[in-house]
Amino acid sequence: MYKVFVNDNLLLLSNQVQKETDFELFLLDGIDLKQLLAKMFSNKIRKACIYHADEQHILRTLKDKLTVNKAGGGLVYNAQGQALFIFRNGKWDLPKGGIEKGESIEETALREVAEETGVANLSLGPKLLKTYHIFKRGGQYRLKITHWFEMHTDFTGEFTPQTEEGIEKVVWLSPSEWPQALSNSYKNISLLFEGRLQEVRTDSGTSER
């Protein structure tokens, strides 16, 4: 199953029929994709599921019908276990950006983190996951696929937010501060913290509701 976010509305690509009653179900073979996306962008549909026996085929169809933008980003930790956040367009986010010609996706992720935050001495860790986000630009729907990597740094210097990209501030946030930041973030960013938030709750002696 793939989770694709249209703004913050959820579009599932699945080979299983969703049991939840608040999902609108669409068969891939009979779908009008642009009409569905228009309804999701206008919030007429908040949750939808596109069904096909082969969920990889659903994703390939989406890629065929939409312009694909490939990006790389990082979930960066310092020596104190704090995570690097940026604040842009009124929301907390993680540094990321589009791939440039000749780059590997790993090189893109490292470059974008450094450019957007000013953080140096970055070391690349394991690949975490890919997130999928549909947006509209120039009257066309586009699918952004972001490859996320864990990163580490011993950087203790001053941040240099990339203001030309709309970044207002860069901060280190401790695990106890993550939930509040994520409450004013994007759903695809929250996916990166799902397991980590459970660990924080367990360490603090609280249980997840």
Q: Which range has the worst mean pLDDT, 31-35, 61-65, 106-110, 203-207?
A: 203-207
pLDDT at 207 over 50: no
pLDDT band (50, 70, 90) for residue 57 = very high
Domains in the chain (CATH in brackets) are 2-65 (no CATH), 68-203 (3.90.79.10)
pLDDT on residue 85? 98
pLDDT bucket at 19, cuts 50 / 70 / 90: confident
Q: What percent of the chain has pLDDT over 90?
A: 84
Q: Is the pLDDT of residue 21 over 90?
A: no
How confident is the model over 177-192, as a mean pLDDT? 95
Distance between terminal CA atoms of the chain?
A: 24
Residue 117 has pLDDT above 70, yes or no: yes
pLDDT at 199 over 90: no
What pLDDT sits at residue 73? 98
Number of other CB atoms surrounding residue 163 within 10 Å? 10
CA atoms of 186 and 86, how far apart (whole Å):
12
- pTM (2 decimals)? 0.89
- C-alpha angle 51/56/61, rounded to 5°? 75
pLDDT computed for residue 191 by the predictor: 94
pLDDT band of residue 198 (cuts 50, 70, 90) is low
The residue-averaged pLDDT of 70-83 equals 97
Using the predicted structure, report yes or no on whether residue 203 has a pLDDT greater than 70: no
CB of 9 closer than 8 Å to CB of 43? yes
Q: Strands 67-77 and 47-51, how do they pair?
A: unpaired
Q: Which of 14-18, 154-158, 177-181 has the least mean pLDDT?
A: 14-18
User: 82 exposed, middle or buried (CB, 10 Å; 0-12, 13-18, 19+)?
Assistant: middle
- Give the C-alpha separation, 165 to 117, whole Å: 11
**Residue 148 to residues 12, 14, 204, Cα–Cα distance (Å):** 20, 22, 27
| SS3 per-residue string spanning 101-157 | CCCCHHHHHHHHHHHHHCCCCEEEEEEEEEEEEEEEECCEEEEEEEEEEEEEECCCC
